[in-house]
Structure 1
Amino acid sequence: MEWYLKVLKNYFVFSGRARRKEYWMFTLINIIVSIVLTMLDMGVGTYNELTGYGVFSGIYTLLVLIPSIAVAVRRLHDTGHSGWWLLLILIPLLGALILLVVMCFNSKEDNEYGPNPKAVNVDQVAA
């Protein structure tokens, strides 16, 4: 839950870097919350089959849209890529596949987007 809240605290932060764990834990919790809210929408009758959203899941999706984009951009920075790479998602299937692979890359050493977050965390633990 710590990783999820960390992303939400950095709501509009598109600069810097995000570790793999931060990105994937946010994504996992985001998916779980979305599934629970969709089931709630189905239970109370606010689910719309045409759109695939209900009132609760739709509002939640809008609330986490900006943090989701921000953490994805920071994750791309961590792999040494520009945030503009996120536009690959507009290429059907192939773009999503390329981004999936890139998001799984290990952190690069210090780069133009900041110091390696893994090294920073190790230094903080040692201190």
Structure 2
Amino acid sequence: MTEAYARFWKKYATFSGRASRTELLWPMLVNLLMFIVLVLARNDVASLVIGLYALVAFVPTIALGARRLHDINRSGWWQLILVVPAVGHLVLAVLWLTFPSPEGVKYDLAA
């Protein structure tokens, strides 16, 4: 878990390469738990922290999502499906949880 969360920040704006399901799920879970705790705090400081963290974590979240989609041989642009009301989140969640595809190797970083 700690390795996946550290990698989330280490690859802050890395949109190339691939990410496993666990590499995606652990940072998402940690971010969700932090958000829940701060929302339950219900004060001005917590609101400020939520806003600042959301701004800071926006780019690495999009980058991680793109790398996860590469692992199933999809373009990172599939994340734009989130603009479709109601269904977009469900479709993206299913894509993120899909098993890796051997064809996704084309997204690997050059060694």
State TM-score, norm by structure 2.
0.88
Q: 1:114, CA displacement in angstroms?
A: 1.6
Matched, 1:114 2:94: no
Q: Pick the structure with greater CA Rg.
A: 1
Structure 1: gaps of 5 or more residues: 48-52, 116-127
Q: 1 or 2 for the larger relative contact order (CA 8 Å, sep ≥6)?
A: 2
CA distance in 2, matches of 1:94, 1:67: 23
> Following the alignment from structure 1 to structure 2, what is the Cα–Cα distance between the partners of residues 97 and 75?
16
Q: For the residues of structure 2 that align with 1:37 and 1:60, how far apart are their CA atoms?
A: 11
Equivalent pairs counted in the alignment come to: 107
Deviations 1:36-80, CA, capped at 9 Å, x for gaps: 22233x1xx317xxxxx8111111111111110000000000010
1:54 partner letter: S
Q: Which has the higher helix share?
A: 2
Unaligned runs of 5+ in 2: none
Aligned with 1:46 (options 18, 27, 44): 44
Q: Is residue 101 from structure 1 mapped to residue 94 from structure 2 by the alignment?
A: yes
The letter of the residue matching 2:13 is F
SS of corresponding position for 2:70: helix
